[in-house]
Structure 1
Amino acid sequence: NMVLASIRSEARLPVQMAPLIFISTVVTHLCGGSAGREGAALQLGGSIGSMFGRLFRMQERDKHVMILCGMSAAFSAIFRTPIAAPVFAMEVVCVGAMHYPALVPSTIASLTASWLAGKLGIPLAKFSVQEIPPLQIVPSLKILLLGVLCAGVSVLFCILLHQTEKQLHSRVQNPYLRILAASGMIWILFLLVRNQDYLGIGTDVIGRALAGDAVWYAFLMKILFTAVTLGGGFKGGEIVPSFFIGAVFGCCFGQIAGISPSFCASVGMVALFCGVTNCPLASLMIGIELFGAGGAPYYFMAIAISYLLSGYYGLYGEQSFLYSKFTGAVVNHKTRK
């Protein structure tokens, strides 16, 4: 939220945010917190971009471009999606108004970061999807239904995430006691489920879902674990948890609807990502970069309907909506919590 706010105003990002968010995210993952890495990466990249903008005494609008370059580079290095990364950075700040002046420098930053990450041994994020159906009416209707359901799950995720944080902050005002209380709640949840699927990033579960194997309640448990982790004060990202939730939900939908669970897991990932971030173009590009272009028409169907029906809910409170999703009228609406 600080990063998004700084792009729209002259608010400064503190230099110490970069090392602090890095250390706190490592601690979250070390202790088994249910969170991702990309939130820290976006803050890290935005903070470094802001620092360079001040160091070279750039004008305010150029500092904003530098922040977007840092966000693009960090997102690209983490996910190895160099095409989607700059689009996401430009699209997420204000829905309906992309920051096109940052297109060229953000693209260069993203490609450079992805190349360097490859040299450092971080592999490309590629997944194989089984049984992509031909573009026909029946599978299209099923995928549209999956997009509708993903919109509902994305709204549920956003509401529980924000409300858990609100309730924990109001009931336990001391931040140290609050994070201890959240730790105790996570421990109790872990003892109840008796497995580690919902701790940490959860890439193993995502991989199993993309292979067609998931249990129906897994998406609900991940929502609960992530809401307690981030609401209690642990640091990390929400995007990888949204991939987890979308993948297992889509896989279970495919098992019920009689369409490839593996393919539905990939559709669920991008549709739910769009529902929580309100970034349809970045969602489509992530789908193509992660899974290939074979399922692109289906991805776009699910993304479009999820974007429309998720309303004005989202992960980031500082995200704004310039235009109405339904009428096209100018609304300047803030994210609902």
Structure 2
Amino acid sequence: MNNTQDKKKPEEIHNLHYYIDHIRYDMTNLIKWLVLAVLTGLSVGFISSLFARVLKFVTNYRTEHFWVFFLLPVSGLIIVFLYQKFGQEDGGTNQVLSTIRSQDDVPFRSAPLIFVSTILTHFAGGSAGREGAAIQLGGSIGNQLGSWFHLDEEDRHVMVMCGMSAAFSAVFGTPMAAAVFSMEVVSVGIMYYAALVPCVIASIIASKFAAGFGINPESFHVVNIPELTIETGLKMVLVAIACAAISIIFCMALQGVSKLYAKFLKNPYIRIVAASAIIIVITLFLRTSDYMGAGNSLIELAVENGQARPLDFFWKLVLTALTMRAGFRGGEIVPSFCIGATFGCIMGHLIGLSPSICAAAGMAALFCGVTNCPITSILIAFELFGFRGASYYLIAVSISYAVSGYYGLYKDQTIVYSKYKAKYINRHTRF
């Protein structure tokens, strides 16, 4: 009996040491990522907040001085020159996504390039967003911080995601969605949970930093939310299917315009001047400046007032494709919000469902269709619109995800698992 107990004691001591070592490792790793996340949140939060402030300033200036719009070709030429001179290997958001899965780096010069180029695009009235730029900004800074701290390749990938989340959160004010987006967007069907703690911490810190910097988080008041019934639920399914179709058309339009530019306007300088001229002519023909920039005013009208012109979504889609594929910078995410909100609003009027709730749900559904990020889309809806229409947002996002196929904004995004069955497919999005 005593011999048996004596044999058990060394084994118990060994197990105790084993658990202590693992706890020590886990705590050390946690502290490491907490420190890195705080540093990333503060540094990216500061740069992104500055970016948002400058963006707001130039947008307000352009709104008050319409003549600035005629400087669009000049802004375009400056952007092309900068990228020809300093960023020929810059792949935009696609490069950031591919970095997380490969040994490639995000060049640190991408940060100042995208900062200046996006400001120039918005200053002159190009139809572009800001989250795409923020993702590149944050990814570049996160990668550089990882390099400065001599982190290994896997940890630097986490730092890139951490920077992406922080920048998205600071610029748009949706920390929950921002924390998840960088983990979800890279490989559809799996989540990079190793980055959960740093992405959450960096996202929250960047959001708070931005708020202290005077960057107010986006939010919209949805009105006339009906009770969920079989009838209203089926109507929302129709809205979601239609938004999924528009998301496919948007992705195809971006690709189609790219091919047309490549075929007929091979010189990047001529291309951006010609595109600027087309954008100016269309805008003057439409006699409105509503489609310039990100389109926030259209989103607000659609969601809070239930108002949108029948072709708002169409013109925003066309002008965004012409702008972004010509060489201007900024991103397609907020324009996709605008397209979804205005189209959803019109659908609401057509089918007899609250245009406000349809605009909000359409915004989330179309974002899901172009990014293939359903969890992020749901969280964005909750953070922007609140939880009162939660059932409608869930229906819209889930249906849009299923119906939008394998199209997407980012050609380096990988669809790891099928949308339709539990099957490993590992393919790139149709771009």
Residues 1:183 and 2:276 are matched in the alignment: yes
Residues 1:293 and 2:398 are matched in the alignment: no
Distance 1:192 1:124 in 2: 34
Coordinate RMSD, CA, aligned: 0.8
Q: CA deviation at 1:291?
A: 0.5
Matching residue's letter, 2:135? L
Q: CA deviation at 1:222?
A: 0.5
Distance 2:291 2:212 in 1: 31
Distance 1:100 1:230 in 2: 32
Q: CA deviation at 1:199?
A: 1.1
Partner of 1:256: 350
Partner of 1:72: 165
Matching residue's letter, 2:248? V
Residues 1:29 and 2:122 are matched in the alignment: yes
Distance 1:277 1:201 in 2: 17
Residues 1:240 and 2:334 are matched in the alignment: yes
Distance 2:347 2:199 in 1: 37
Partner of 1:155: 248
What aligned pairs does 1:52-131 form with structure 2 within 5 A after superposition? 52-131=145-224
Question: 1:143-190 deviations in whole A, cap 9, x for unaligned?
Answer: 011010000000000000122112202321211111111101101111
Question: 1:293-336 deviations in whole A, cap 9, x for unaligned?
Answer: 11111101110110011000000111010011112211111111
Distance 1:99 1:163 in 2: 32
Residues 1:3 and 2:96 are matched in the alignment: yes
Tell me if structure 2 keeps the 8 A contact 1:165–1:230: no
Please, which runs of 5 or more residues in structure 1 have no aligned partner? none
Matching residue's letter, 1:290? L
Distance 2:391 2:427 in 1: 30
Q: CA deviation at 1:34?
A: 0.1
| Structure showing greater Rg | 2
Distance 2:302 2:362 in 1: 10
Q: CA deviation at 1:41?
A: 0.3
Residues 1:170 and 2:263 are matched in the alignment: yes
Matching residue's letter, 2:298? V
Matching residue's letter, 1:306? S
Distance 2:342 2:422 in 1: 33
Matching residue's letter, 2:213? L
Partner of 1:196: 289
Distance 2:259 2:109 in 1: 26
Partner of 1:279: 373
Question: 1:64-109 deviations in whole A, cap 9, x for unaligned?
Answer: 0000000000000011000110111100000011110000000000
Distance 1:166 1:331 in 2: 27
Distance 2:191 2:149 in 1: 25
Q: Classify the secondary structure of the residue corresponding to 1:209.
A: helix
Residues 1:50 and 2:129 are matched in the alignment: no
Tell me if structure 2 keeps the 8 A contact 1:150–1:306: yes
Moved more, 322-331 or 219-228: 322-331
Distance 2:264 2:109 in 1: 29
Please, which runs of 5 or more residues in structure 2 have no aligned partner? 1-93
Aligned mate of 1:302, from 396, 412, 415: 396
Q: CA deviation at 1:6?
A: 0.4
Matching residue's letter, 2:337? F
Matching residue's letter, 2:156? K
Question: 1:230-254 deviations in whole A, cap 9, x for unaligned?
Answer: 0100011101000100111111111
Q: CA deviation at 1:134?
A: 1.1
Q: Classify the secondary structure of the residue corresponding to 2:175.
A: coil
Distance 2:192 2:415 in 1: 14
Distance 2:274 2:423 in 1: 44
Residues 1:139 and 2:229 are matched in the alignment: no
Q: Percent identical across equivalent pairs?
A: 53
Distance 1:149 1:167 in 2: 26
Distance 2:301 2:176 in 1: 26
TM-score by length of 2: 0.77
Matching residue's letter, 1:58? L
Instruction: Name which structure has the greater RCO, CA cutoff 8 Å, separation 6+.
Output: 1
Tell me if structure 2 keeps the 8 A contact 1:321–1:334: yes
Q: After the TM superposition, which parts of structure 1 deviate over 4 Å for at least 4 consecutive aligned residues?
A: none
Bigger proportion of residues as helix:
2
Matching residue's letter, 1:16? R
Question: 1:201-235 deviations in whole A, cap 9, x for unaligned?
Answer: 11111111111110111101000000000010001
Tell me if structure 2 keeps the 8 A contact 1:166–1:231: no
Matching residue's letter, 1:289? E
Distance 1:148 1:189 in 2: 29
